[in-house]
A and B are shown apart, each in its own frame.
Chain A
Amino acid sequence: MGITFRKETFRDDYTFRNSPEHIRRFPFPFNEDSYMYAVNIEPHVVGPKGSVLENLIDVDEHYVAEMQDRALVLAEDPLRCQSLPHMTLAGWDLLELLMEQQALGYPEHFTLTRDGDRWRWINRPLGIDDTFTFGDTSTLPYGPMEYITRQSQGDFCILDQRDGNLWMDAGMVTTQADWSLDFDIGMNFFEWHAPVPLAHEKGIFIRALKFLTNIQQGKPARRLNWTMTINPRLDTSPENYHKWGPDRATVTPENVGDKVHLRVELQSFWRLPRSNGIVFPIRCYLIKMDELVTQPKWARRLHRVIRDLPEELATYKGLTRYRPTLVEWLSKLDDGSPTSPGFGPD
């Protein structure tokens, strides 16, 4: 048996939904009743069966629809995918990683066969069967990074490591939480994080950079990040902010459950073997409030987190306009009883 891929949209009529199994496996990002930045990085190792960590590169029921949405974004704005000239080798590294991981985790959907440099890649959900020469860009319809990331859920940033820093020198970024690859490409780790409030003062980025530049091949790491999105819109780019921004003013007590989504990023960090770069997949998971509160522990905890969030963070995450409405709605689901430790539902 394989995954049943949903037919759904992340724009216009917004038919995106999570199945009950996918609600249970949602990577809820709060392990206590409050939230503040931390260098919450841990080894990216395989987790429990049925969780989003069952495989190191997760493929889920939204795969096909997400890839269709990505193609729409790229057709409108090709600058969402860019690679500086010295990053092609890292693109091949990424192609190998994603083909290997997807074929390993989901053999019923993906098959990779290698005969020296002649590789055959079969992607059944998307109807792709290509044979190409590894390392020869002319044998693929796109550059290697674009080719494989049109077939992989999540955004991908490839970081070049030099001068003791990491440089955002390539990426496929169509499902981002309000940052622009086109603007940030070529920047170093501190520069592209420059607009993030509070974290610089806490020394977060200095410690994070030290950790990331020491990542070893075969020992990936991960962290969770989160924000909220109105409507299940993957493309919340700054480029289109003037199109999706007005949605934030449409939240009412009646539609909170349907419109407000928790948006969780599972970020992982992998050393690439040939280029010595780091690839940074940012996998986005969305869940609407109505789905999330089917787990009473999550409802209680989310209420407390959003209610007590420092104002600067709420502003940075763009919650200001609808936070009172959301907190009021969630408060009715919080009886004040304690929540159990850990991320998972009870």
Chain B
Amino acid sequence: MAAKTIISRPVYGTLSPQPGKHHLFVADAEGALAIIDMAGKAPAGFFDGAEIVFIAAPDGKHIAALEALKPAQLHLPPSFASLLPRLRQTLTNAHMGLRLYLSGTEGLIGQAMQVALEAGIDHTSMQTEHRGSLARRMQCVHCKGITENVTTQPATCAHCGLLLLVRDHYSRRLAAFQGVCINAEDRSEIPPMEEVFR
């Protein structure tokens, strides 16, 4: 689990069944395990009103276990980008009583939350659980480009190429951590790059 550092850095919990008519799960990779663990605590018939959206790893791991929960709908998009239009429509058309559960990597939780925020859902009403990689989604404050799956500190911006300090400062609206040039004052200073977000 990620350590709590500064106040803007998201804090994740453990998924737990909420009262509600409809339950929408969005998960990737190891996030499936958070759903499976929660299922043990869910009342009978809970998944009859549930849709699980799962972005699986290439090996298809955890798909069978999610099928076994017998959700009303199991959707398996190939990537978050391909899920986006559908997720937007689902959340825009959602009625009161829909509960949202996000689990998996920070990038997935953050981006799904971003879409939900745009649909007017308060972030404190969403259930979140972080599982798997600590890789970060980072916005370069200079060129505004987003670099996905950042695992090193510092990290190179995939767009403008500046060497960036990956801060803990996080924007829910952008679903990204902030990256700021680490050697702006003297480019010849190149701190060693360490793999810290794994």
* Chain A interface extent, by class: 20 to 34
Interface size on B, residues (CB 8 A): 23
What's the nearest-Cβ distance from chain A to residue B103, in Å?
23
Tell me, yes or no, whether A341 is within 8 Å of chain B by CB: no
Known: A183-B174, A190-B7. A195 touches B169 (CB 8 A): yes
Segment from B40-48, B78-86, B179-187 that makes contact with A: B179-187
Q: Which of A282-306 contact B (CB under 8 A)?
A: none
The yes or no answer to B105 lying at the interface (CB within 8 A) is no
CA distance A183 to B142 in the complex (A): 11
Which residue from A184, A239, A242, A245 sits with its C-beta under 8 Å from B171? A184
A242 and B162 within 8 A (CB)? yes
User: With the chains together, A190 CA to B186 CA distance in Å?
Assistant: 32
A191 touches B8 (CB 8 A): yes
CA of A271 to CA of B180 in the docked complex: distance in angstroms?
34
Contact in complex: B7, A191 (CB < 8 Å): yes
From residue 159 to 174 of chain B, which have CB atoms closer than 8 A to chain A?
Answer: 162, 167-169, 171-174
- B139 lies within 8 A of chain A by Cβ: yes
Cross-chain contact B171 with A187 (CB below 8 angstroms): yes
Residues in B with CB closer than 8 Å to A192 are 8
A18 CB–B CB distance under 8 Å: no
Contact A194 B186 (CB under 8 A): no
Establish whether residues B142 and A241, one from each chain, have CB atoms under 8 Å apart when the complex forms. yes
Q: How far is the CB of B165 from chain A (nearest CB, A)?
A: 10
Q: Mark A184-226, 1 if CB is under 8 A from B, else 0.
A: 1111001111110000100000000000000000000000000
Contacts of A194 in B (CB 8 A): 6-9, 168-169
Q: Which of B139-170 contact A (CB under 8 A)?
A: 139, 141-142, 144, 162, 167-169
Report B180 CB to chain A, min CB distance, Å: 6
Q: How distant is B5 from chain A, measured CB to nearest CB, in Å?
A: 9
User: In the complex, are the beta carbons of A241 and B7 less than 8 A apart?
Assistant: no
A79 contacts across to B, CB distance below 8 A: 144
B178 CB–A CB distance under 8 Å? yes
CB-based contact A248/B6 at 8 Å: no
- Report yes or no: A183 in contact with B181, Cβ–Cβ below 8 A: no
User: Are A183 and B178 also in contact (CB < 8 A) when A241-B141, A242-B162, A249-B185 are?
Assistant: yes
Query: Which chain A residue lies CB-closest to B7?
Result: A194
Q: Which of A193, A239, A248, A321 has the most CB of B within 10 A?
A: A239
Question: Does A180 interact with chain B (Cβ within 8 Å)?
Answer: yes
Asked if residues A182 and B180 are in contact (CB atoms below 8 Å), the reply is no
Residues of A within 8 A of B174 (CB): 183
Min CB–CB distance A281 → chain B (angstroms): 23
- Residues of chain B with a CB closer than 8 A to A321's CB: 185
Of A183, A191, A245, A249, which contacts B141 at CB under 8 A?
A: A183
A246 within 8 A of B: yes
**Are A249 and B186 in contact, CB atoms less than 8 angstroms apart?**
yes
B172–A186 contact, CB under 8 A? Answer: yes
B residues whose Cβ falls under 8 Å from a Cβ of A: 6-9, 139, 141-142, 144, 162, 167-169, 171-174, 178, 180-181, 184-187
Given contacts A185-B173, A187-B171, A195-B169, 5 further A-B contacts (CB under 8 A): A183-B139, A187-B8, A238-B178, A241-B184, A245-B185
19 contacts between A and B (CB under 8 A): A180-B178, A183-B171, A183-B174, A185-B173, A187-B172, A190-B8, A191-B7, A194-B8, A194-B168, A195-B6, A239-B141, A241-B180, A241-B181, A241-B184, A246-B184, A246-B185, A246-B186, A248-B185, A249-B186
